[in-house]
Structure 1
Amino acid sequence: MNGRTALIAVSAVTLLGALYYFNTSSPTLTMSPSTATEGVPGLEFKLSQISRSPPSLLVTLKNNNPTTPFTLLKWNTPLDPQAANLGLFTLVDEEGKEIPTEGLKVNRLMPPSAEDLVTVAPGTEEAHEVVMDKPWLPERKPAKYKVSVKGAFSGVWDKYGGDIGTGQLEAYVDSPFHGRAFESNVVEMRVE
């Protein structure tokens, strides 16, 4: 009985030690809270409705930085062609109930192509239309929803797209602003 108790005690201590080691010594397991909550200085997403039937939003990314261009990987942002399917948008109905939006997992070809990037020069903006006619949207019409978008950038560089090499694209998670948060305004979307 003493040998069995000792074996259990040694196993428990080893397991606890391993858990402590992996949770405190590996910087790749957790993202720094300051990095995750801070956005990219000067970049701002804004939503506005441009159509009620089908309901469509104009997503505008503005670079308010007076001197720095930003090139971003569109993946998992509102500028992504799959944006409406990625679970980035939050919709709240008139009763205050959040509409569940299923985020699809999208397989991507590596390295990212030039079409996967967008450069926003200082003081300019980039706009993209997102049609909100997906199966997860309730069919009740007319209706009103409060809509916003929130997420994290996959890759952002503080330079023009032509200055980003293939190696940097392949290692987009090492870009200067990878994982930085973005969040838009809240807009009322009417569906007819």
Structure 2
Amino acid sequence: MTTSNTKSFPGLEFKLSQISKDPPSLLVTVKNNSPSSTFTFLKWGTPLDPQALNLGVFKMVDASTGKEVKIDHLMINRKMPPSRDDLQEVEPGTEQATEIVFDKPWMPDTNPAKYKVKVEGEFKGGWESPVSEVKAKDLKAYSDSSFANRAFASEETMLVVE
């Protein structure tokens, strides 16, 4: 996902893979394809955010009907500035992953079913450095960081619900 105003975060790639059908769960993996750069990003609004399913990061389409699944979005108030726990470091050639269980009230109750799922959005902040080098002043000015507002997206994957 690239627009004229935003570029992607160089070297970072999101992948989705199903790990359970009941409950329906995806493993979200972010991989750093850079051979030499360590990246740190603010998890807010990304698939690694604990609130990701509530923030509109995931896009779902019913595979049989082609209709988009309406996902309720919540407004989240965050404690400012972000804490170190809100950061994710990804070293060169490594990946970080988290399981996302699709168990929210907006999830259709049709079983069995198949959905095409992808993630897309923008990083709120990011740095080409290890988390240990991100200073308190950097956290306060996260929206001015070198990789703020950079787009992310994944390929579509199939989520099978039983």
TMscore range, shorter length: over 0.9
From 158, 178, 186, give the equivalent of 2:148: 178
* Cα distance, 1:35 vs structure 2: 4.0
Deviation by residue 1:57-82 (Cα, 9 ceiling, x = unmatched): 10000000001100010000000000
From 116, 123, 144, give the equivalent of 2:114: 144
Bigger relative CO (Cα 8 Å, ≥ 6 apart): 2
* Cα distance, 1:97 vs structure 2: 0.4
The structure in which a higher percent of residues are helix is 1
Report % sequence identity: 56
SS at match of 1:162: helix
Deviation by residue 1:76-101 (Cα, 9 ceiling, x = unmatched): 00000001111111111021000111
Residue 123 of structure 1 corresponds to which residue in structure 2? Answer: 93
Count of paired positions = 159
Residue 34 of structure 2 corresponds to which residue in structure 1? Answer: 65
Deviation by residue 1:110-144 (Cα, 9 ceiling, x = unmatched): 11111100100010000011111111111011100
SS at match of 2:158: strand
Structure 1: unaligned runs, 5 residues or longer: 1-32
Aligned-partner Cα distance in 1 for 2:40–2:5? 18
The structure in which a higher percent of residues are strand is 2
* Cα distance, 1:102 vs structure 2: 1.6
* Cα distance, 1:34 vs structure 2: 3.4
SS at match of 1:185: coil
* Runs of 4+, deviation exceeding 6 Å: none
Structure 2: unaligned runs, 5 residues or longer: none
Which one has the largest radius of gyration? 1
> TM-score normalized by structure 2?
0.96
Structure 1 vs Structure 2 CA RMSD: 0.9
SS at match of 2:4: helix
